[in-house]
Amino acid sequence: MAEIDDIEKYYINYTPLDKELIRLTGCKDKFTKNEICSFVKSYIESNDKYLFFILSQDNSIIGETVINEIDFYHKHANFRIAIFKDNYRNQGLGTWAIKQACAFAFNNLMLHRLSLEVFSFNLRAKAAYIKCGFKQEGVLREAIKFENGYNDIILMSILSHEWFNLY
């Protein structure tokens, strides 16, 4: 999990943002150091959202997973993942990180359901989610404006019993 000592390292590795990351996640293209610090601190100080860093072999922060919007009564939460730089993508790190986050959500937080949204053109992410047991639930048609048109957002989830049957 993220710690205060990680903030500077996170900022250095997160910025400048990779153009592909912006395209695949829909995030804005620039963040100030103060915005980054506030973001990380909000997760560290919270009991209902979690930020995990994906580290390279040299301990650089190369990505993140987030479990947020946790509803402990209904036992569900939202999930997202980002690999910050292109040279770390397509190596299985995303699949590994998704599995780690699901294990934490179902084993530690005792959640019943983990859901996410993925842009329809992000085929690599959708494939990784399916590989880890997520199922498509629906489509928000033409919900994201991108370049010269609109694209769909795909809604996906995995339930605890589905996770435990796989792993």
Res 27 pLDDT > 90 = no
| 125-146 residue pLDDT tens | 999 999 999 999 999 999 998 8
* Nearby residues of 68 by Cβ (< 8 Å), 6 or more positions away: 48, 49, 50, 77, 78, 80
Domains of the chain by start residue, with CATH: 4-166 (3.40.630.30)
Most distant CA atoms of the chain, gap in Å: 43
* Mean pLDDT in residue range 46-72: 94
Q: Work out the pLDDT band at 74, boundaries 50, 70, 90.
A: very high
pLDDT at 9: 86
